[in-house]
């Protein structure tokens, strides 16, 4: 299908972006029309932010081209893109909180006379400008005196003023309450009717359906599709976001009837206000419990509560029927828990330390600081787990940051296996790693289950979750909304559980 | 396969096996470059200055001169392992060496008590720094700059700008002035502390924890390491070592004054930074720090014997630091891009 370049204000054709060996974007097409709100959806690592950074000039593509009103353009940096008419507003307001609203609006292009800023003119123009956004505030007051929503509208006004053709809204509603969201949406509608093309990034599906005309869905750096929202359901969208490129038939897992052992750990009424609603969950010996849910559904927050990274403000943990305190990671490790965090680089890997040091660190932390692992024990441990998990490193004294993502993930897995855990929590263990390592990790999960471990695995890859889970719990809006067992452990049922019940109905204001 | 080639800066036995002598040397050069340079400088100066440089007298003077800087360097290095910087080492030594004398002359305390009090104050200062950094979450550079400056102010207030002088017991002078096997006793202190720190940092869980915290504190926390305790502990160790250096300085100078001590701060940091480019390149380490301090000592001693002026010392310190860090950074960058 030909894109209508007459109305397309911004187009991307065959965009490729490669980081190291990782294809962050693989021949992605995208087009934005004038006077439309175009939502961009995808899980973490799908390529949303990479695409936006290319469209706004923060990154240069390794292949493909960007067209602005039909003309190929290449932006050196976001400033140049702004000059061409493309403005961006981020979740965190990028303005100066300690300057006045007016100054923020005109920062960098203040009207001057004899080198002096014309304050009164700035104030007048700022007030007039904001009035067109339905915002009547004292523009001479410091920006920080206003709510995030107002600041966001100021940021939008500034971006539109400076650019005027395309507006990119990167998760603008993440820190807004419901009334503020309504207010922001009014502004967006107004801009849309003025003919701007607006790219809207969010992980709130209800907002996508409320505000957007079309949606483009990315997964693993590829474009899955672009659809007018009038023609798709929430289920379709979730399916496109989470599924593999196969039809979503009813494929129940072969594992649901498999034997599982006695309860290993029970979380009772565990929760934390504002993060995760209280949930009950029991993990059994020799069982994998999969966790499905969209980004921001509370799945990671749940894992962090279980491991004591964030202390729960209610609920209890029982291991083999005995109550234990898990308020810190140290207590969780002592209780025999292991945790592979979602963000490998930020929370998992000690980049500058050697492979060996990375593998032994959790065990050494568990042993405490009076019982040293001597060098031979360390070498033996590292060697054993590197072999068991097929960690490909030239030697175990090299810094772990030089390994590929998949091998780094295996190193973190090895680290937890070394403490001989009884419960293992894996948050997106296969994200962003190559196919070979991916298969290896899935194999390892299956093997660990057979060896009697209790596992909780969070994943955005539904096929994968179904392949290794005995049960699946579904998270939505920071709440555990479903527990699927037996034949229900199937992609189609999971997608429905995530999507079917629409997100909480908004009370009429 | 991706990532299979070795990019380690530090070569392993495995890699060296089967390499020719020259290849081995090339492979080892980045690791032992600074050591080789030091040996080279010693040989060079010995050949050029056969009458003054390779003498026992010169060795003694270098050792006794640089022992204090070596201790301060080690003191600064410990928090660096955990990814923090401690600037109080340079300010603390001003107050500590004054107190070590004034507690005896002004308050009539016996010297062991005076030394004990100074060491305890060093512990307290380190603990405070640790609290500021870990509990109050103030950046370590700023926190220790603040406490350091306050210590310096206390030194000025305490002395009122005067020198602290008085008759001190011989035993106090002996802390610094004794010779064992013809070498100053301070060299043996440094050796003992170096060995202790080396064993602790390389072979005990404490070292593993501190390096892990320095590499990625969030991950360290998630692995059940009590990061807060260990960071505070690192500052305490640093504080007590700096206090010890102050005691040695007092015993050496026999006079306490607020104008002495600050000049040690930068060489001490330079030593620790230089150390991160050798022995275990890419991370601060005990022997590297000692090598760093030694190369500066040897270089400056040689240059001064050639008749270099008083300003040569800081010039040499600064230049060596920039070159060493520059080369190390370049080498790492090259390795880094190769792996991509």
The model's confidence at residue B56, banded by pLDDT at 50, 70 and 90, is confident
Q: Which pLDDT value is given to residue B157?
A: 93
- Where does residue A99 rank: exposed (0-12), middle (13-18), buried (19+ CB within 10 A)? middle
- Residues of B within 8 A of A403 (CB-CB) are 3
Distance CA A62, CA A85 (A): 23
List the single residue in B with minimal CA-CA distance to A374.
Answer: B203
Q: Which pLDDT value is given to residue B25?
A: 67
> Which residue's entry shows tokens 């926190």?
B143
Q: Are residues A383 and A442 in the same domain?
A: no
Closest CA to A332 of A508, A433, A209, A456: A456
Helix intervals (H) in chain B: 13-16, 21-48, 56-81, 88-105, 111-134, 140-159, 170-177, 185-203, 205-215, 217-222, 227-253, 265-275, 286-305, 312-339
Of B12, B204, B340, the CB nearest to A395: B12
- Residues of B within 8 A of A359 (CB-CB) are none
Among A57-66, A473-482, B147-156, B159-168, top mean pLDDT goes to B147-156
- Round the CA-based radius of gyration of chain B to a whole number and report it: 21
Within 10 Å of residue A117's Cβ, how many Cβ atoms? 13
Which residues 233-262 in chain A show a CB within 8 A of chain B? none
Say if residues A41 and A241 touch (Cβ distance below 8 Å).
yes
Domain annotation covers residue A431: yes
| Residue from A341, A364, A383, A416 whose CB has the most chain B CBs within 10 Å, to mutate | A364
- Tokens read off for A21: 């060996």
B179 shares contact with chain A (CB less than 8 Å): no
Say if residues B108 and B260 touch (Cβ distance below 8 Å).
no
Q: At what angle do helices B286-305 and B265-275 cross, to 10 degrees?
A: 120
DSSP helix/strand/coil, A176: coil
Which parts of chain A register pLDDT below 70? Answer: 1-6, 21, 93, 111-113, 115, 243-260, 435, 501-509
Distance CA A480, CA B124 (A): 49
B6 shares contact with chain A (CB less than 8 Å): yes
Distance CA A459, CA B312 (A): 61
A407:B3 CB<8 A: yes
Render B91-115 in DSSP notation, one character per residue.
HHHHHHHHHHHHHHHTT---HHHHH
Of A350, A366, A393, the CB nearest to B216: A350
Q: Which of A393, A420, A447 is the last residue of a domain?
A: A420
- Where does residue B268 rank: exposed (0-12), middle (13-18), buried (19+ CB within 10 A)? buried
Q: At what angle do helices B170-177 and B227-253 cross, to 10 degrees?
A: 110
A346 shares contact with chain B (CB less than 8 Å): yes
The model's pLDDT over B208-237, given as tens digits with 9 standing for 90+, comes to: 999 999 999 999 999 989 999 999 999 999
Domain annotation covers residue A112: no
Q: Which pLDDT value is given to residue A332?
A: 92
| pTM score above 0.90 | no
Domain annotation covers residue A31: yes
Query: Which CATH number characterizes residue A48's domain?
Result: 3.40.50.300
Distance CA A105, CA A158 (A): 5
Domain annotation covers residue A152: yes
Q: Are residues A328 and A459 in the same domain?
A: yes
| Residue from B16, B199, B224 whose CB has the most chain A CBs within 10 Å, to mutate | B224
Q: Which pLDDT value is given to residue B1?
A: 29
Q: Which pLDDT value is given to residue A36?
A: 93
- Residues of B within 8 A of A349 (CB-CB) are 216, 219
Q: Are residues A222 and A252 in the same domain?
A: no
Q: Is the pLDDT of residue B107 over 60?
A: yes
Q: Are residues A415 and A429 in the same domain?
A: no
- Residues of A within 8 A of B15 (CB-CB) are 394-395
| Residue from A350, A376, A383, A416 whose CB has the most chain B CBs within 10 Å, to mutate | A350
**Alpha-carbon gap: A130 to the closest alpha carbon of chain B (Å):** 39
B222:A307 CB<8 A: yes
B218 shares contact with chain A (CB less than 8 Å): yes
Q: Which pLDDT value is given to residue A245?
A: 44
Q: Which pLDDT value is given to residue A505?
A: 40
Domain annotation covers residue A403: yes
Q: Which pLDDT value is given to residue B119?
A: 96
Q: Are residues A224 and A281 in the same domain?
A: no
The sign one gets for the Cα dihedral A274, A279, A284, A288 is negative
B224:A353 CB<8 A: no
- The number of folded domains in chain A is 3
List the single residue in B with minimal CA-CA distance to A399.
Answer: B8
- Tokens read off for A288: 């994998």
Q: Are residues A273 and A189 in the same domain?
A: no
Q: Are residues A312 and A454 in the same domain?
A: yes
| Residue from A20, A309, A361 whose CB has the most chain B CBs within 10 Å, to mutate | A361
HEC profile for A57-113? CCCCCCEEEEEECCEEECCCCHHHHHHCCEEEECCCCCCCCCCEHHHHHHCCCCCEE
Of B5, B219, B224, the CB nearest to A349: B219
Q: Which pLDDT value is given to residue B146?
A: 95
Domain annotation covers residue A61: yes
A24 shares contact with chain B (CB less than 8 Å): no
B212:A361 CB<8 A: yes
Q: Which of A420, A446, A461 is the last residue of a domain?
A: A420
Among A388-397, B95-104, B262-271, top mean pLDDT goes to B95-104
- Tokens read off for A27: 């021949």
**Alpha-carbon gap: A63 to the closest alpha carbon of chain B (Å):** 19
Closest CA to B235 of B95, B92, B98: B92
A315 shares contact with chain B (CB less than 8 Å): no
List the single residue in B with minimal CA-CA distance to A391.
Answer: B4
- Residues of A within 8 A of B198 (CB-CB) are none
Q: Are residues A167 and A70 in the same domain?
A: yes
ipTM, 2 dp: 0.78
Q: Which pLDDT value is given to residue A5?
A: 46
CA B90: distance to chain centroid? 11
Say if residues A496 and A236 touch (Cβ distance below 8 Å).
no
Higher pLDDT pick, A439 / B242: B242
Phi then psi for residue A88, to 5 deg, are -130, 140
Render A424-469 in DSSP notation, one character per residue.
EEEESTTTT--HHHHHHHHHHHHHHHHTT-EEEEE-S-HHHHHHH-
Q: Which of A420, A447, A475 is the last residue of a domain?
A: A420
Q: Which residues contact B171 (CB under 8 A, 6 or more apart)?
A: B111
B16 shares contact with chain A (CB less than 8 Å): no
The sign one gets for the Cα dihedral B210, B216, B222, B223 is negative
A-B interface: how many C-beta pairs under 8 angstroms? 122
Domain limits for position A159: 8-98+142-232
List the single residue in B with minimal CA-CA distance to A334.
Answer: B224
Higher pLDDT pick, A403 / B12: A403
Dihedral angle computed from the Cα positions of residues A220, A221, A224 and A229, in that order, rounded to the nearest 10 degrees: 100
Domain annotation covers residue A163: yes
Lowest mean pLDDT among A359-373, B17-31, B113-127, B181-195: B17-31
List the single residue in B with minimal CA-CA distance to A328.
Answer: B224
Cα atoms in the Cβ-side hemisphere of radius 13 Å centred on A353: 29
DSSP helix/strand/coil, A273: coil
Q: Are residues A453 and A476 in the same domain?
A: yes
- Tokens read off for A87: 């403005």
B6:A398 CB<8 A: yes
Say if residues A11 and A24 touch (Cβ distance below 8 Å).
no
Q: What angle do CA A93, A99, A101 make, to 5 degrees?
A: 70
Domain annotation covers residue A114: no
Which residues 89-128 in chain B show a CB within 8 A of chain A? none
Q: Are residues A437 and A391 in the same domain?
A: no
Q: Which pLDDT value is given to residue B227?
A: 92
Q: Are residues A268 and A382 in the same domain?
A: no
Q: Are residues A482 and A368 in the same domain?
A: no
**Alpha-carbon gap: A426 to the closest alpha carbon of chain B (Å):** 13
Among A462-466, B148-152, B317-321, top mean pLDDT goes to B148-152
Distance CA A58, CA B315 (A): 41
B7 shares contact with chain A (CB less than 8 Å): yes
Helix (H) or strand (E) holding B178: none
- Residues of B within 8 A of A407 (CB-CB) are 2-3
Within 10 Å of residue B306's Cβ, how many Cβ atoms? 12
């Amino acid at each position: 299908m030909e894109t209508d370049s007459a109305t397309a204000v911004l187009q991307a054709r065959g965009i490729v972006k490669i980081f190291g060996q990782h294809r962050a974007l693989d021949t992605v097409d995208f087009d934005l029309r004038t006077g439309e709100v175009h939502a961009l959806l995808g899980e973490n690592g799908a390529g949303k932010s990479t695409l936006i950074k290319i469209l706004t000039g923060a990154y240069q593509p390794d292949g493909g081209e960007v067209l602005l009103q039909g003309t190929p353009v290449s932006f050196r940096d976001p400033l140049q893109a702004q000059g061409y008419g493309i403005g961006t507003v981020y979740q965190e307001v990028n303005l100066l909180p300690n300057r006045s609203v007016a100054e923020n609006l005109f920062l960098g292009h203040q009207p001057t006379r004899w080198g002096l800023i014309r304050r009164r003119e700035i104030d007048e123009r700022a007030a007039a400008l904001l009035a067109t956004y339905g915002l009547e505030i004292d523009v001479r007051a410091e920006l920080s005196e206003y709510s995030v929503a107002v600041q966001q509208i100021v940021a939008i006004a500034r971006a539109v003023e400076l650019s005027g053709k395309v507006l990119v809204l990167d998760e603008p509603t993440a820190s807004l309450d419901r009334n503020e969201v309504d207010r922001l949406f009014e502004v967006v509608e107004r801009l849309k009717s003025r003919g701007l093309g607006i790219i809207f990034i969010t992980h709130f599906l209800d907002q996508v359906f409320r505000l957007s005309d079309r949606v483009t869905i990315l997964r693993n750096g590829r474009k899955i599709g672009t659809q007018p929202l009038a023609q798709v359901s929430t289920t379709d969208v979730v399916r496109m976001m989470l599924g593999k490129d196969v039809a979503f038939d009813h494929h129940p897992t072969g594992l649901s009837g498999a034997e599982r052992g006695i309860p290993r750990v029970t979380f009772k009424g565990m929760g934390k206000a504002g993060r995760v609603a209280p949930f009950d969950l029991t993990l059994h010996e020799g069982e994998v419990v999969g966790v499905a849910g969209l980004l921001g559904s509370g799945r990671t927050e749940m894992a962090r509560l279980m491991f004591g990274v964030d202390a729960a403000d209610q609920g209890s943990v029982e291991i083999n029927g005995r109550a234990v305190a898990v308020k810190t990671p140290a207590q969780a490790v002592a209780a025999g828990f292991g945790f592979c965090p979602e963000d490998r680089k930020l929370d998992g890997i000690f980049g500058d330390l050697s492979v060996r040091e990375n593998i032994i660190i959790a065990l050494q932390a568990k042993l405490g600081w009076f019982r040293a692992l001597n060098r031979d024990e360390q070498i033996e441990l590292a060697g054993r787990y590197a072999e068991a998990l097929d960690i490909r490193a030239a030697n175990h004294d090299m810094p772990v940051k030089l390994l590929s993502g998949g091998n780094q993930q295996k190193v973190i897995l090895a680290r937890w296996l070394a403490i001989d855990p009884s419960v293992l929590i894996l948050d997106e263990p296969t994200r962003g790693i190559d196919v070979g390592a991916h298969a290896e990790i899935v194999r390892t999960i299956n093997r660990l289950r057979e060896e009697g471990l209790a596992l909780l695995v969070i994943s955005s890859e539904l096929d994968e979750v179904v392949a290794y889970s005995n049960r699946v719990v579904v998270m939505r809006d920071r709440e555990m909304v479903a527990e699927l067992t037996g034949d229900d452990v199937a992609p189609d049922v999971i997608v429905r559980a995530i999507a079917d019940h629409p997100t909480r109905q908004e009370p009429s204001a | 396969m991706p990532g299979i080639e070795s990019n380690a800066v530090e070569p392993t036995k495995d890699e060296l096996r089967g390499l020719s002598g020259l290849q081995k040397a090339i492979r080892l050069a980045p690791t032992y470059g600074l050591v080789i340079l030091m040996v080279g400088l010693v040989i060079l100066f010995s050949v050029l200055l056969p009458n003054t440089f390779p003498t026992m007298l010169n060795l003694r003077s270098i050792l006794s001169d640089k022992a204090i800087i070596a201790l301060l360097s080690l003191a600064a290095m410990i928090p660096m392992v955990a990814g923090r910087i401690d600037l109080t080492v340079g300010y603390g030594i001003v107050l500590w060496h004054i107190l070590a004398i004034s507690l005896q002359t002004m308050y009539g305390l016996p010297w062991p008590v005076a030394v004990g009090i100074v060491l305890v104050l060093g512990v307290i200062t380190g603990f405070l720094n640790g609290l500021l950094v870990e509990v109050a979450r103030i950046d370590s550079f700023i926190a220790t700059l603040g406490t350091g400056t306050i210590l310096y102010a206390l030194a000025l207030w305490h002395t009122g700008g005067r020198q602290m002088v008085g008759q001190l017991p011989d035993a106090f002078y002996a802390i610094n002035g004794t010779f064992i096997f013809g070498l100053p006793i301070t060299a043996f202190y440094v050796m003992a502390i170096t060995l202790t720190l080396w064993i602790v940092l390389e072979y005990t869980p404490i070292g593993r924890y501190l390096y892990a915290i320095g590499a990625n504190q969030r991950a360290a926390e998630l692995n059940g390491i009590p990061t807060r305790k260990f960071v505070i502990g690192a500052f305490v160790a640093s504080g007590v070592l700096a206090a010890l250096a102050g005691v040695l300085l007092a015993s050496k100078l026999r006079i306490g004054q607020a104008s002495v001590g600050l000049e040690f701060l930068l060489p001490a940091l330079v030593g620790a930074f230089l150390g991160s480019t050798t022995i275990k390149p890419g991370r601060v380490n005990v022997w590297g720090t000692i090598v760093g301090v030694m190369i500066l000592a040897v270089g400056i001693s040689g240059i001064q014997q050639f008749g270099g002026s008083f300003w040569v010392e800081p010039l040499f310190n600064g230049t060596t630091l920039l070159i060493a860090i520059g080369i190390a950074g370049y080498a790492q960058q090259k390795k880094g891009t190769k792996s991509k």
